[in-house]
Structure 1
Amino acid sequence: MFLAPLKRVPAPALILGFAGLLPFLWAAMLLLGVDGGISGRLPRALGTDGRLVMLRYGSVILPFMSGVLWGFATRARGTRAAAAYALSTLPALWWFFAPGAGPSSALLNLMSGFAGLLILDFAFWRWSLAPSWWMALRLPLSIVVLACLGLALWLT
């Protein structure tokens, strides 16, 4: 039942979307003290601090998703176009202006950014700017990202 909506998602989007969760999941494993030896095979620059990994990766993905919404905004017309373009910039601007003063506030702000992004995903999907399968992909991805960030916040 849960996997049925995912069957509508094109295979490349599904595979790459879930592959995009790997850094968040790896960071969560680091926080739990179970990295499966992955850390030894990755560049040292990535570090072994799960919170830092989540913050670094999340800092890339949240603005990236802002760009995805910008692309969807190109399909809008009239006043909806103006609203869509403005709304598409919010996740990137949120992270720029609210990065946090320390790990806890940064994780909370990043979580807020991803929760807000999910609301925007829904709006763009509802306005038929995003593909019909968009929410079938975005909802499970967002749940995993928010769970990983929540774990990091809880363990901070």
Structure 2
Amino acid sequence: MSKRWWIAAASAATLAAAALIVAVGSPDTPDETIVLVGDSHHRGGPLYFELKGKPVRGLVPGAVKQMKISVVNPLGYRITVHRLTAKVSDTDRRGCSATAANLQVRSYSGQLPVTVAASGRTELGGAIPVSMPIGATRKCAGARFTIAISGVGQRVPR
């Protein structure tokens, strides 16, 4: 891999504080944000971009909902996002574990790579499918799940 590649990964504390909350049957909240930081040979310090996800609502056993993602590039140059991944990392309900038996997060369905303008925001054309399996425990009804999202990107050469 070249020096221009960077893997965007947040610390565990940042993921816990800023991960996307997936609400099952709860009131509307604004988009959640994860700031992804990657080490690079960049003069100004670490490179970073934000992934903003629209909370998924109304999940019931057997249903599949689409979690839309926006990429915010606060940097003064274009970046290309090559890969997005997501996984269930936590839940707010005792007795409802954050496992694939209770909530499943699939691979991003859209086309990548995507280029994001300098100081720009791009809503991605695809989505991350989220589903509650039919066999999910009853204690998960109405639970809020935390989904950790990460991405891999690159600075676009001039």
Same fold (TM over 0.5): no
Relative to the length of structure 2, the TM-score reads 0.28
Larger % of strand: which?
2
Relative to the length of structure 1, the TM-score reads 0.29
Larger % of helix: which?
1
